Structure 1
Amino acid sequence: MKLVIVGAVAGGATVAAQVRRALPDSEIILFGCDPVLGYGTCGMPYVIGGVIDEKSKIAGPSPSKFAHQRNIEVRLEHEVLAVDRTNKTVKVQNLLTGEHALETYDKLILSPGGRARIPKLKGLGNLPLFTLKNFGQMEEVLAYIDREKPRACAVIGGGFIGIEVAENLIHQNLKTVLINRDERVMSVMDPEISEVLGNEMKDNGVEIYFNDAIDRIEGRTLFMDRGPNFSVDFLVACIGIDLNTELAAEAGLSIGPTGGMVVNDYMQTDDPDIYAIGDAVESKDWFTGKPKNVKLAWHAHRQAAIVASHLAGNPVRMNGLLGTTITKLFSLTAAITGHSAKSLTDEGIAFDTAIYDGRTNAGYYPDHGQIHLRVHYDRATRRILGAQAVGDKGVDKRIDVIATAILGKMTVDDLAALELCYSPPYSSPKDPINMVGYKAK
């Protein structure tokens, strides 16, 4: 069997390795536009901030080593331009030479990812504007900071990437302003969590413009819709990504209401010989079964395993998605799984919320922390629908436990009965998870 894979970042590189293990005798060709293989996009803000001291640490394996060890033909700086489903070929361009070629396939796997949205700004002129979606864009930011020694910048967008970039620009001793159209940062989370994160940013020197946007730019001065005007040396736009689905659409594959490629439970598109994984895929919500697009690394890796198992004749279904994710912000950590209060309200689901606001571990232990934990549950069945937490330690543990409880179809009351490990450095005799269960009663 001959497999062609389009995209060589997290999803593409991972599915290539997974398929090699599942189908040791197959022929595999991996195409990628970037010159770097399988790099960790989630690590890029921390390279910019100097938390990760060398950019090579987030790069994947060398293409030659990856190709040799796994017997995979790796062609980086190659772009797949078209798919001919009738003749089962792809048209490929070598981005270095401009040459075109056709490559046949038995099975095709699409992992095209997305591209950063670029805001339309009046009068941008020569003011540098950066985005942060691929390795090369990260290198551009690093080179600019090293060469120009800027003193002030503005980040546009207050989602996960925006707040992480803002934190790491502060680590570079830059005056940093965050411009956000919403009334709060991290609007995907409940307001009680967002408020804590916004205050943490302000306490660490980030100036935030809420409910605001850039009206126009003159030179290096930003004229704002509402707030006072100010000057910066450069901008970083973190306003989301547009999915790279043009190749699939031109091949006649279905694009769903979320903008992602439609797939079944085995990651097959309309064409059973074409699979799709990663950011550009439309999956389904764990609770409602409605279309859902989640742009996170765990999901791409899980989808890669689903594809490899299906190709090997051992089909495993892809679960609906919870969208479990976490972020670090200065001294705090925030995480979410499942639905927020807003998304439950939008879905018309009647719910209640159990809240624990207190210590993460024994108060007499010198390194105790604080956590705010919120668990939403179905008012009738008491099944857990989602959870969020913010605190200075132990957030990941609690949200991971609740994500597991959701997949186990547990009720909020079951949380009180969970036998969780206890020692003063780590928890209390009644863990915050247990406390939420008791409070819900």
Structure 2
Amino acid sequence: MRVERPLLNALRNPSRVIAVALALAIVVGTALLALPVASADGQRAGWVTALFTATSAVCVTGLVVVDTATYWSWFGELVILLLIQAGGLGIMTLATLVVMLLSRRVGLRVRSVVQTETKAVTAADIRRVVRRVVLFSLSVEAVVAALLTLRFALGHGQALPQALYSGVFHSVSAFNNAGFGLHPDSLVRYVEDPWVSLTIAGAVIVGGLGFPVWFELARTWRRPRQWSVLTRITVYTTAVLLVTGTVFMVVAENSNPDTLGGVDREHRLVAAFVAAVMPRTAGFNNLDIAALRPETLFMTDIFMFIGGGSAGTAGGVKVTTFGLLAYVIWAETRGERDVHVGTRRVPTANQRQALTVALLSVGIVVLATLTMSALTTQGFDVILFETVSAFATVGLSTGITASLPVPAQLVLVALMFIGRIGPLTVASAMALRERPRLYQLPEERTIVG
């Protein structure tokens, strides 16, 4: 049985589906958070506060203008939790379906151009993929919630109901790379607790790699030479960035008494690792972001901009985009005509898509940063940090979010929305609309550099 034509058309226009779905979820979330029952004091939240929080939750960002634990009631926190789950799981499912559709088209195009246009995704395929994504997500969240609940109850003296609620909330928020927490200092109080910090960091990494990568690793983890280009770039680039981030954090902040230097020596390496994981795009912070040195803030900007894996819950331009461009540069410096990743050659179209996504993202961040600079008197470095964090749906902040004027906060709302749908929809739309040109113009080289 084939999928109905409207669903097929929707899959072939993912930008429209994702944008509409996220917009509707934000509208519903804003309406629910604006109810008096959603606030701890029983007063109706302002529409900007409700809109900002709903957008941040649906786009799994974590930026907030009010403290989650004290401003919202249990109903408001539950709404935020459901919005996080819907946003993360929905994006992950849709992204996985798009990856599946793209892989079918690319694979069939190698065999037969005609088959490419006639092959369709079956209803069984979609049901199977959605079921696996949901089961995978809920299973990981359940394991993480159980580990955190035990630690909160046995190690931090919380009552079992409170420990269970806190464990589930932080588990869902971590796996979906949302960064919402129930403490004003996020994870700073757990900086010397490896059980809590490493469990949350592990959930962030698992959610950020993406379901297609985990599904392939489950089958071929012992045979790296058989990995696809997607899995190879995602795994290797993620590993390099995590190691690089950890080393940089140790070197830059080890002597800073307000951040890593204030942590006991036996816990510093773990603290540095967790701090390197969070810009990938989790939003939790185990160190005081406002106390980081300027060079660390700038390096964190870079890590946030890169983000996590495709078809995962992380944001940013994705490690696949960054990794592929690194392979392109490597091939160009070696004078090679083709770009090879492992035993595969990367099509020129993929290279153009990666370059387009990266440059469009840079343009958006630059424009938003200039706009924010005109709307507030904050320093350029913290404005850039806030802008990149919003666009990459990270949620880390130096603490200026709540003090920004309303127009600047609305800029961040737009950035979170664009950043959540941007890289995926741009790349997939270009790939799905790719058509061969029936003629070629004369070639002419130009000077570059």
TM-score (norm 2): 0.25
* Larger Rg, first or second structure (1 or 2): 1
Q: Which has the higher helix share?
A: 2
User: Structure with the greater relative contact order (CA < 8 A, sep ≥ 6): 1 or 2?
Assistant: 2
Q: Which has the higher strand share?
A: 1
